[in-house]
Each structure stands twice: as structure tokens, then as C-alpha cells.
Amino acid sequence: MAEGLRERKKRQTRQYISDVATGLFVERGFDAVTVAEVAEAANVSVNTVYNYFPAKEDLFLDRSKGVTDRLSRWVRGRRDGESAAEAVLRELREEVESVSPRIGLMDGYARFMRVIHDSPALRSRMWAIGQEVLLDLERTLREETGAPADDTMPALMAGQINWLHGTVVATIGQRMLAGGKPAEVSREVLLMLDEMEGLLSERVLNYAVRGAA
């Protein structure tokens, strides 16, 4: 459906507030900037900021919703004959090989990671987001396989598959913080993905195959 004028203005306002906040956080550090200062710089009220962003951390990690269900989307979109783990490995390789900014392979990402690295509150929120990703993937695997509520296998498999994504994202962040260039980090992580796949058991690699009897 086409976006209405009101919805477009709300989206633009939200994006503007987030952009202003991010600029302040990168310049001064997350903990040194207050929500009131963000509101003043964006020329809106504090209440307006909280209407769009329930918590200060949301101002900086405003795209976390797109991360929370990423693995689930990849698993649901797996091809015929492809398992859940194989789908995630394929998607990760495509993102890394294309030097995608969606996983941090971009100039300037080191500044973003530095803000997180220096803020206990943001590190805590990143951990919480990681837990949301894991639980969301477990629910998806349970739905996709029809596993009953007392079956622990979806949780165990979610942990294995989430390890792939979490390790790749963390490694990219560390390499970029250390001064790596997107293209060279991409090459390093592609090699690492091959090593990671070799560590997975056949049981993991053959779990939730689409079209399997």
C-alpha cells in the first residue's frame, strides 16, 4: 500500500531525530549526551523523542528490529532441499561477498562500533538484541519443523545457527574497529565462514531441510 502523507512525515521525523542523535553520540559518546540535548538539537520536545524512541538506546540502535528477525527470514526463505543452517550460511556468504553495509562492511562503521564499545548501556542492549534473535529463531524452527513444545531440538539448533551469524557480525565489528578496510575484512570473513561450516555436524547441516519427507 502507498504510504500516506501522515505516515511519511512521521517516518521522516523519526529518521531525522535518529540521525541527529547518532551524530551527537558519535561526536561526544553515548553516555555524555542526554535525551534533552537530542531533543534540543533536533528542535523537538523531549516527549516527542520518547514518542518515537521508548528508550535512549533506541535512538542509536534504531534499526535493531530489522536484525531481530533476520535469521528467521533467512530460514523461512530457504530453498527446496536446503536446510536451515545451509540457508543461513548462503545468506551470510552473499552479504559478506557483496561487502554489504547491512552487516557492517562499510566505511565509518568503526565509529559506530566505538560508540557501542565505550558504552555499557549499549553493550547491554546489544546482548539483549542477541537474545531476541536467538529466541525468534527458535520459534521459527519450531514452527517450520512442527516440533512440539517439549522438544528441545529447536532451541539447540537455534544456538548452533545463531552462532554463525553472531560470530560473523562480532568479527566484522572487531576487524573494523582495528582499522580494517571493508573489502579486506570481507575476504577474511569468507575464509572464516568456510572454517565455521566445517565445524558444524551433519545433524545441524541437515536439520529442517525444505521439502524433506
- Under 8 Å between Cβ of 178 and 109: no
Quote the percentage of the chain above a pLDDT of 70.
98
Please, what is the angle between helix 120-145 and helix 109-117, to 10°? 100
Query: Distance between CA atoms of 142 and 140, rounded to whole angstroms?
Result: 5
Other Cβ atoms less than 10 A from the Cβ of 48: the count is 15
Give yes or no for residue 2 having a pLDDT over 70.
Answer: no
Give yes or no for residue 63 having a pLDDT over 90.
Answer: no
Residue 23 CB partners (closer than 8 Å, separation 6+):
none
pLDDT digits (tens, 9 = 90+) for 121-167: 999 999 999 999 999 999 999 999 999 999 999 999 999 999 999 99
pTM of the model: 0.89
